């Protein structure tokens, strides 16, 4: 008899909980116009910020040319011819400009930071190249050398190594010809070696290994921007959902407890309303972005559609809503929750690389960002383009969701016990 009464009482409490959730969903539906209006406002603000940032980041900036001071110890037409030939190369002229100056002017430019390096061409340099004697060119760099000077130093060292190898080849040919009595063939051998070395030196692309490095991984800059922008939008959209996600007033909480609806039932109802409200807001964001990109002829930048994308998108939504729900439970009221949510969102986005890819951030910031949910949310949002999401990201989002839900429930239960 007792068990039957207990079962009936449990059924009545469950029914009351369903009634509460139904009422909360109706309230959420009535709030949808307000949520969508604030979503439009938020999208407009984010769009203007993105447009301004893109205009500034991708504006046409004139290329900075490295100035190299050339100091000639003696005037030689062949030296001028060699410099004109080097500076006439397209790959060189776009990066460097050579200025023939006096020794005093050259070192003054170096000290004042007007030149990245100073080349001192010794007397008899051209004759030394012709007869194989060692007449080195002196290269001076400023004490506080920047990236330009460091790059020039590397290229200079590479050039020196090439000259040493070429000279070693010539000396080796001379010794070999002398040892085996083939001196009459020296001119032919020298011509063959000089031709091979000249072809190698003129093929400048052979001196470099091209490796493309992307700050945004497998995503393009635009795709990464859309992914991080979507996460930022969802987090801030929680501010528009405060009417349906903020905790019940103390008096109403006590009344609901007397009706058999405890912390779990109350939390689930609020959380479910947040999922519905923000889910619709997320779909609205996708619709707007799709319309804008399609109208602008950038449909290729849209995420792919499939089962993996749908599941990942749902997990992103659940994790985001649960985090926002926890913030509302911690704050206790709508105003404090909005301020706290905005502050935490901006901080997380910065540390997670939402405003600027993580590779451009200090190492300490990068390490801290790896422990924040926003980093995994952005990674998961980016996987909507690639169609593959790592197990680590999925596991982290699931753990964050469970942790946030448990913390929010614990906070709600603690508040009820404190109120008596």
Banded pLDDT at 93 (limits 50, 70, 90): low
The residue to which tokens 């909507």 are assigned? 384
Q: State the pLDDT at residue 385.
A: 82
Q: State the pLDDT at residue 1.
A: 47
Banded pLDDT at 313 (limits 50, 70, 90): confident
Check pLDDT > 90 for residue 400. Answer: yes
Give the chain's mean pLDDT. 75
Pick the closest to residue 289 from 230, 350, 355 (CA basis): 230
Query: Which one has a higher pLDDT value, 148 or 99?
Result: 99
Q: pLDDT tens digit string along 138-158?
A: 777 777 666 666 666 666 666
Check pLDDT > 80 for residue 392. Answer: yes
Q: State the pLDDT at residue 351.
A: 92
Looking at mean pLDDT, say which of 18-22, 148-152, 349-353 comes out highest: 349-353
- CA quadruple 345, 346, 347, 351: dihedral positive or negative? positive
- The pTM is what? 0.65
Question: CA 401 to CA 323: how far, in whole Å?
Answer: 7
Q: State the pLDDT at residue 322.
A: 93
Looking at mean pLDDT, say which of 39-53, 54-68, 353-367 comes out highest: 353-367
Q: pLDDT tens digit string along 320-346?
A: 999 999 998 888 777 888 889 889 999
Mean pLDDT throughout 177-183? 72
Check pLDDT > 50 for residue 6. Answer: no
Banded pLDDT at 319 (limits 50, 70, 90): very high
Q: Which long-range contacts (CB under 8 A, 24 or more apart) does 354-359 make?
A: 354/228, 354/231, 354/232, 354/378, 355/228, 357/215, 357/216, 357/224, 359/215
Looking at mean pLDDT, say which of 68-77, 118-127, 188-197, 267-276 comes out highest: 267-276
Residue 68 forms beta bridges with which residues?
98, 117
């Amino acid at each position: 008899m007792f068990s039957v009464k207990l079962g009936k009482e449990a059924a009545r409490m469950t029914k009351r909980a369903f009634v509460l959730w139904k009422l909360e969903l109706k309230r959420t539906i009535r709030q949808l116009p307000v949520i969508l209006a604030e979503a439009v406002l938020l999208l407009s603000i984010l769009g203007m910020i993105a447009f301004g940032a893109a205009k500034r980041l991708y504006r046409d900036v004139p290329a900075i040319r490295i100035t190299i001071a050339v100091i000639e110890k003696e005037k030689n037409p062949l030296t001028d011819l060699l410099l004109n030939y080097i500076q006439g190369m397209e790959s060189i002229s776009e990066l460097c400009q050579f200025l023939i100056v006096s020794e005093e002017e050259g070192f003054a430019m170096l000290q004042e930071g007007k030149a990245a390096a100073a080349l001192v061409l010794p007397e008899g340099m051209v004759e030394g190249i012709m007869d194989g004697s060692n007449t080195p060119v002196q290269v001076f760099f400023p004490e506080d050398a920047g990236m330009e000077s460091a790059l020039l130093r590397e290229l200079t060292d590479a050039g020196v190594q090439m000259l040493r190898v070429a000279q070693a080849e010539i000396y080796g040919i001379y010794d070999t010809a002398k040892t085996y009595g083939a001196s009459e063939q020296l001119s032919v051998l020298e011509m063959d070696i000089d031709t091979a070395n000249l072809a190698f030196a003129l093929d400048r692309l052979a001196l470099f290994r091209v490796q493309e490095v992307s700050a945004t991984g497998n995503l393009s800059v635009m795709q990464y921007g859309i992914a991080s922008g979507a996460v930022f939008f969802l987090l801030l959209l929680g501010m528009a959902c405060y009417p349906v996600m903020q905790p019940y007033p103390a008096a109403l909480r006590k009344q609901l407890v007397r009706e058999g609806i405890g912390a779990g039932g109350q939390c689930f109802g609020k959380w479910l309303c947040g999922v519905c409200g923000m889910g619709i807001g997320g779909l609205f964001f996708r619709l707007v972005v799709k319309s804008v990109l399609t109208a602008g002829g950038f449909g290729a930048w849209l995420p792919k559609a499939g089962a993996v994308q749908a599941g990942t998108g749902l997990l992103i939504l659940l994790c985001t809503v649960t985090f926002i729900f926890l913030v509302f439970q911690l704050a206790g009221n709508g105003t404090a929750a909005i301020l706290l949510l905005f502050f935490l969102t901006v901080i997380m986005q910065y540390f997670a690389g939402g405003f600027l890819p993580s590779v451009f951030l200090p190492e300490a910031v990068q390490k801290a960002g790896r422990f924040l949910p926003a980093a995994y949310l952005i990674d998961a949002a980016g996987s909507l383009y690639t169609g593959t999401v790592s197990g680590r990201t999925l596991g982290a989002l699931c753990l964050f969701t469970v942790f946030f839900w448990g913390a929010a429930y614990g906070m709600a239960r603690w508040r009820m016990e404190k109120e008596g």
